[in-house]
Amino acid sequence: MRKVNPSLSAFLRECNEVLLARSAKGFPFSVIDSREKTEMLIQEFVTDIPDIDCVMDAEIYTAGYNVPVRIFNPNPGQTLPVLVYFHGGGHMAGSVKAYDPICRKMAINTQHIVVAGEYRLAPENLYPANIEDACAVVRGIWATLDRQNVDYRKTLSVAGDSAGGSLSASVSHLAQFDRGIDIEKQILIYPCVDYVARYESYNENGVGYLLEADMCTWFFDKYFREGQCRKAASPLHMDFTANLPQTLVITAEFCPLRDEGKIYYEKVKSLGIHAENVHFEDAIHGFLNIEDLVRETCMKAYSSINRFLNG
């Protein structure tokens, strides 16, 4: 019997009432509103913001768009490995500023230097602009850390949630054929890895659990140009070779993207690559962004990521 975490009942009821009222008034989804809600959600429900020894801002220099990054170093006195993190938000919302507390927790829990990239957002910058930015971050990471005089171990992993999980996976797939990028591990948190399929989880979880199926469709329509091949842009349909990094996929039972995340994990595992799927039976999409409501779930997620990276 599927049952969502009881601590989410009041939160989901309020969210659903707001969506129903907006729909009744004929209000469409809005880019500005989506961005505001993403930032407000984290501000309201991720209130435990830990101190961290060193936080600094820098840029990854490229021939086109210089990608701003924020560097979170939990222990400058040690030589630590590096984790590049891409935030979620449907490719059109979210920011390094909004995800600052989550990146702090990621750095402290994993004892990795976390580098969060401020990739360009749709609809102002359509696919593949943010893929280019993500690749630029992983290519330029060592030179940037050198400029900032950061002491690091040259071991690179990538991570991201939702759309950021898609970016992480896309970079990992492209890195299979790029000797200039060496990614040891990837962590995909309730990732979007298929822009064309509609699995059973879209039917089971498409209404009532914060991220809704019609929202996903709207996000994708704002992300791609008319006529672009969405299947080719989907990590689940890219080349799978033995050069993919070790993979951790975190999924949530009440998430529309649940099934594609599990299928992605199975495809990586079938290659003989070390792969893990940590599944949360009572969780919804985006649970890291509402930590105060599901603190135990979030702590288990951070612990799983730490064990995967450092095990």
Mean pLDDT calculated for residue range 155-165:
98
Q: Is the pLDDT of residue 31 over 90?
A: yes
Q: What is the DSSP letter of 236?
A: G
**pLDDT the model gives residue 18:** 92
The string of pLDDT tens digits covering residues 69-89 is 999 999 999 999 999 999 999
Distance CA(157)–CA(175), nearest Å, equals 12
pLDDT of 23 higher than 90: no
- pLDDT for 63 equals 83
More confident residue, 23 or 173: 173
Confidence category of residue 268, pLDDT binned at 50, 70, 90: very high
- pLDDT score of 272: 98
Mean pLDDT for the chain overall:
97
C-alpha to C-alpha distances, 150 to 72, 109, 185, nearest whole angstrom: 10, 19, 21
Burial class for 155, CB neighbours closer than 10 Å (0-12, 13-18, 19+): middle
* Cα-only R_g, the chain: 18
**CA-CA-CA-CA torsion for 35, 37, 41, 44, nearest 10 degrees?**
110
pLDDT at 255 over 90: yes
Residue 197's pLDDT is what? 86
Sheet of 113-117: strand order equals 54-60, 67-73, 113-117, 80-86, 152-161, 185-189, 246-254, 275-284
For the segment 225-252, what is each residue's pLDDT rounded down to a tens digit? 999 999 999 999 999 999 999 999 999 9
Residue 230 class from Cβ within 10 Å (0-12 exposed, 13-18 middle, 19+ buried)? middle
120-134 confidence digits (pLDDT tens)? 999 999 999 999 999
Q: How far apart are CA 118 and CA 115, in angstroms?
A: 10
The total of other beta-carbon atoms located within 10 Å of residue 86's CB is 30
- Give the model's pLDDT for residue 24: 85
